[in-house]
Chain A
Amino acid sequence: MLVDLQLGHDSAAGRRVLDAIHHACEAIGVAINDMSRIVVGVGPGGFTGLRIGLATAHALGQALARPVIGVCSLEGLAVGIARTAVPGDIVIPAHDARRKELFAAIYRVRADGGLQELLAPVAISGVALAARITPDLAGTYRVIAAGRGACVEREVLARARVWIPSESSGVHALSAGDLLQLAGSSPRPPDPLYARAPDAELQLRTPGTGNS
């Protein structure tokens, strides 16, 4: 990997993404036109930031006439966690989904170091996630969770004997390099993985709370 710029976590971070792409290109002395493909994290994550990333990636792909490859952002985080794990361990990447929920998924580290998906990305409360971590899921292996969501729900998860590395550890941040790796091993269509329906749709589904 030649360059990795992190934009931070504030809600406006997504809006700086094209600027960051420009600076990344300048830093290594290439033009955007030299890119052979665009790899984009499809979430789950904050809806607005997610869409800015995807809209930017789609437009770059369209303007350059190059392929756009989607990768799951949680799986990207899991790749980083798995580097600290051994085959058989359970890894749980978790973003903060607000509203007292996490965007989380559960993977087992395979013998070849790859990831086996046990729970596809969902929006889930910390308590409900902890309830998924049954003794026979982990057996004698470790369960490692990371990401800002895991840090938020540290207490609840720790009670389920989940290990969450210290907050200063680099494992909580998604690296562009890990996303690039997934583009080869686990590509997806470049469509958003929202993992949560819009409020209006939820209200429509729940009788009695529809918009009046």
Chain B
Amino acid sequence: MIEGPFLAIETSCDETAAAVIRDREILSSIVASQADIHTRYGGVVPEIAARHHLGTVNVVIAQALDEAGLKMSEMTAFAVTQRPGLIGALLIGVSTAKALAYVHRRPLYCVDHLLGHICASWLAPTLLETPFVSLIASGGHTRLDLVTDLATPTMLGSTIDDAAGEAIDKGARLLGLGYPGGPALEALAAMGDPKAHAFPIGLGGKRIRNFSFAGVKTSLLYVVRAEPDMSDQRRADIAASYQEAIVGPLAARVLDAAREHRVSAVSLGGGVAANGRLRELVTEGAARSGLRVAMPPRDLCTDNAAMIGAAAHFTPRIEWPDYLHTDAVPTAPPGGIAA
């Protein structure tokens, strides 16, 4: 555990974020999203993301300190997302955190973004204790982990093709909704019937812990092509059925895994965990199995720096000035999470 308040920075994709954390408490958490900027390109443009992080990161840090009512010199350490992500975006956070830690002669924690998503539910207000099974479903990742020690989650399964959020965004685009598609798809789906259309379930079957979303996406493409003049109700029905084909397996497999590994809790993280239908399915299923569901507030599910601070508690510490050569890493390590 890191003693005292410390600053965490996240710039791996299209959110510039900083937070001040003490123990399991969030003293401040600021997120500046670039989503509006990338909308016109239909997805995150790495070069544009990097340009915006550079203009924004220092402002976000100043706000986080201000809101926590603390001075930079009172930070006992600095934490930053080191991997995985867009390299140009990661480099802004890493270069910034290194320089801040260097000047203040403090240690640096180089955090894995996915460990961050897993650790979001360990923070207040959720305060989940190990062991639990974690489902991370975001724009770039979809995986299940058995977490008996937050420093070393064991991956139980992951997507073999698209991430759940990616499939949601692509589906939303096929249905003529903007980017990011998640909230728009959910809103449209709320007016439709999830049983209206039978989309194929990727990798169906018992004891399956991996996911596949490429098939359902292709299937939606065929529907949209075959029915170019869909009525509004039909579009809502298709959206609801498509959403169900994605969040259904997510809910079923995280609950199955928890039962198999005899843990008493599951946690949800990543942007897709903000989806109301997924939350509903997991909550209902968990109640039937007597499981506890830990769902961090929505703003802790999407990218933020507070979760990076949480993961820093379980990440090796690099003493001053041993991190001068430390670099950002775009890829995930073998096994998925760097410890």
Interface residues of B (CB under 8 A from A): 40-43, 45, 47-48, 50-51, 54-55, 57-58, 61-62, 72, 87-88, 91-92, 95-100, 102-104, 321, 324-325, 327
Contact = CB atoms under 8 A, between A and B. Distances in A.
B179 to A, nearest CB: 11
Given A55-B92, A200-B41, A15 B102 contact: no
Interface string A161-202: 000000000000000000000000000000110100011110
A198 B51 CA distance: 9
Interface in A43-77: 47-48, 51-52, 54-56, 58-60, 62-64
A191 B43 CA distance: 25
Chain A CB within 10 A, most for which of B43, B88, B102: B102
A54 to B, nearest CB: 6
B103 A60 contact: yes
Interface stretch (A16-24, A93-101, A124-132, A134-142): A16-24
Interface of A: 15-19, 22, 32-33, 47-48, 51-52, 54-56, 58-60, 62-64, 191-192, 194, 198-201, 204, 211
Nearest to B91: A52
Given A60-B99, A63-B100, A211-B41, 17 more contacts: A22-B102, A33-B103, A47-B47, A47-B50, A48-B88, A51-B91, A55-B54, A55-B99, A56-B96, A56-B99, A58-B96, A59-B58, A59-B95, A60-B103, A62-B61, A192-B54, A200-B48
B48 A198 contact: yes
The 4 closest A-B pairs by CB, nearest first: A59-B99, A63-B103, A55-B95, A19-B324
A58 B50 contact: no
A52 B95 contact: yes
Contacts of A192: 51, 54
B62 A198 contact: no
A130 to B, nearest CB: 29
16 contacts: A19-B325, A47-B47, A48-B50, A48-B91, A51-B88, A51-B91, A55-B92, A55-B99, A56-B96, A56-B99, A58-B58, A59-B98, A59-B100, A63-B72, A198-B48, A204-B40
